[in-house]
Amino acid sequence: MIEVEYNATHITLPGDHTLTDKKDKPRKGCIRRLFGFGWGVFKFTVTCCLLAAVGYVVWVNYAGKQALKRFEAELLKRQIPLAFEDEKQIPDEVNAARYWQAAMKMVVRPDYRAFDELNWPDFGERFMPDVTALLAKQCQQNQAVFPLIKNARSHDQCFYQINAIENLDQYMRFLGQQRPLIYVLKHHVDYATAKGDKQKAVDICLDLLAFVDSGKQTDSWFYQYVRQTHVAIAISQIEELMARVESTPSQILELKQAMNTQMILDLPKILRGDFRDKYQRMARPDWYLLQQEYQRGLASYKLSFTAPRYEFTGWEGKPGLELVMPIQKWYEWLLECAINCSNDLCGGAYQMIDEKTAAQGFEVYDLLLQPDVSWEHLKEIKKIGDNYGDNLFLRTGRTQIIVAMAALSIEQYRMTHGDWPSSLDQVFDEDPVDTYEQSLKIVKCDDGVLVYSCGPNGIDDQGIWHKSEDESQSKDDVAFRLLDPSQRNREPEPKPKPETEISTGAPQLPANLFEDVPH
């Protein structure tokens, strides 16, 4: 007979077998199992993330080294040394621009995945500290000014910020920082004229001319082009100054002397500027035979845009067309690219968002830094049309200076004699001529006089600048307006319309504009 011991908690059987009451030990419920499963998923996820992070670090390190090798290869291809013993050996102006351009080109290339944005100080510290230290410093200065142009709400803020920049000479030397500064100086002039401080306004105009003068130290064709744009801005500012304040004879003399010494454009040097091998081939009469290789090389890039990078996908254009373009059209395209490039590059670390402008800017900027092709090659390009200003922009810039200088001399004559001259013979021993060997003209208006050149088409439009779609009917006079003293101290009005019939007897352009380039 088996004896069973029983109590309230458990039953003891022979052989130490124990039956436990199920109610005494809680079972594992659904909530506990759910927490256990979640903890396992969390540990698995953390492990995967750690492994992915390690892999990413390894990949970024590898990609960075490969990008650096490509950068060094780019510099070696351009025959630029990779490092310098001290900061004094870092090249400036053109050579510094080459470093900058090479690095930016690397940033934009889609296969350089190690770079996400154009940030010069960070770039200099991470990859090429010995080479880019100076550029990083200049970029930091630029970053202090660039937001000022966009965000400044008062001229006083402009005065305060511009005075805070150290080493202004070094700052102005670099092309990328010139754009913001010239507009700050324009704000200076506007502010001074609005307050009626004519001496301050004249002094700032002199500073503006000195700034323009700072860009003539390099032979780079691109730099000279941008500098000529700055010349046009400076002349426009002086014209506005003359329309709003009554200057003294000594102030006019100061402006004339500054313009005579600081706004010189070396036209022959610009016309014989630097071009790339590709454009040398374009200049050949048999260039159309290279169609398979270049496929409408004069056309714009066709790009697909994936922010923040740009990917080259081929050339635009229709095969089979004769690949001949008048040099004026080619020049206009090249000029537009160069100006767009200078506008975009001025931001330093500012991210470019226009893929077409960026691609053209990089291409043209790279083109203009390569001394492989001279202006002589371009003279052989076939031209459509007759006697048109192939170097219109360049000659117009020189003409703007000539007209402005003549206008200041006429202002001096008025101050001395109390009235405007009826002809240029009363002011000059010999009539001043523009870059097309055409005499300047003067015409009286209701509120002053207009000094002007007939422009490249040789037709007297009485100071009107209007470029129509039909080139034969374009009105392209280059003018400088002088107001009567009683009409000053107010906002300038648009230039007057011609009051008489347009003259058709003006001298015509020479058959070849490239001969007898003025020196």
* Most confident range, picked from 109-113, 254-258, 359-363: 254-258
Give the model's confidence band at 236: pLDDT under 50 very low, under 70 low, under 90 confident, else very high.
confident
Instruction: List beta partners, residue 444.
Output: 449
Residue that has been written with the tokens 């200003």 in this structure: 389
Q: CB atoms < 10 A from the CB of 415, how many?
A: 14
Mean pLDDT of the region 367-385: 33
Q: Which range among 52-56, 107-111, 407-411 shows the weakest confidence by mean pLDDT?
A: 107-111
Instruction: Tally helices (H) and strands (E) across the chain.
Output: 17, 10
d(CA 296, CA 319): 8
- Which is nearest to 396 in space by CA: 451, 443, 457, 341? 457
What is the per-residue pLDDT for 253? Answer: 84
Question: Which distant-in-sequence residues (6+ apart) come within 8 Å of 153 by Cβ?
Answer: none
Residue 153 confidence class, pLDDT cut points 50, 70, 90: very low
Task: Find the range with the poorest average confidence among 118-127, 167-176, 197-206, 209-218.
Answer: 118-127
What is the Cα–Cα distance from 200 to 206, expressed in whole angstroms?
10
Q: What is the pTM for the complete model shown? A: 0.42
Collapsing DSSP to helix, strand or coil, 306 comes out as: strand
State the Cα–Cα distance between residues 478 and 231, nearest whole angstrom. Answer: 14
Q: What is the model's pLDDT at position 223?
A: 55
Q: What per-residue confidence (pLDDT) applies to 491?
A: 54
**Is residue 410 scored above 80 in pLDDT?**
yes
Mean pLDDT of all residues in 364-369: 40
d(CA 516, CA 493): 38
Query: Do the beta carbons of residue 488 and residue 517 sit within 8 Å?
Result: no
pLDDT value of residue 114: 30
Separation of first and last alpha carbons in the chain = 136
The reported pLDDT for the residue numbered 224 is: 57
The confidence score (pLDDT) of residue 166 equals 33
More confidently predicted of 444 and 387: 444
More confident residue, 235 or 135: 235
Task: Say whether pLDDT at 420 is over 70.
Answer: yes
CA nearest to 325, candidates 314, 317, 315, 313: 317
Q: Tokens for 188, please give them.
A: 């200076």
- Mean pLDDT within 426-438: 82
Whether the per-residue pLDDT at 205 is higher than 70: the answer is: yes
The pLDDT tens digits for 4-36 are 555 555 555 555 555 555 444 455 567 777 778
Whether pLDDT at 349 is above 50: no
**pLDDT at res. 61:** 61
For the segment 481-504, the average pLDDT, to the nearest whole number, is: 56
CA dihedral 165, 140, 217, 517 (to 10 degrees): -110
Q: Which of 34-38, 116-120, 137-141, 472-476 has the highest mean pLDDT?
A: 34-38
User: Environment class of residue 232 by beta-carbon count within 10 Å: exposed (0-12), middle (13-18) or buried (19+)?
Assistant: middle
pLDDT value at position 353?
33
Length of the chain: 519
Tell me what the mean pLDDT of segment 151-179 comes to.
36
Average confidence score pLDDT of the chain: 55
Residue 143 in this model has a pLDDT that exceeds 60: no
pLDDT at 255 over 50: yes
Interval 435-472: pLDDT, tens: 777 888 888 877 788 888 887 667 777 776 554 444 44
pLDDT tens track for 31-80:
777 778 888 888 888 898 888 888 877 776 666 556 556 555 655 565 54
Above 70 in pLDDT, residue 86?
A: no
User: Which among 26-40, 83-97, 206-220, 331-345 has the top mean pLDDT?
Assistant: 26-40
pLDDT above 70: percentage of residues in the chain: 31
Looking up tokens 């090429």 gives: 128
- Please, which contacts does 284-293 make with residues 24 or more away whose CB atoms are closer than 8 Å? 284/377, 284/380, 285/380, 285/382, 287/323, 287/324, 288/322, 288/323, 288/324, 290/323, 291/319, 291/323
pLDDT of amino acid 30: 74
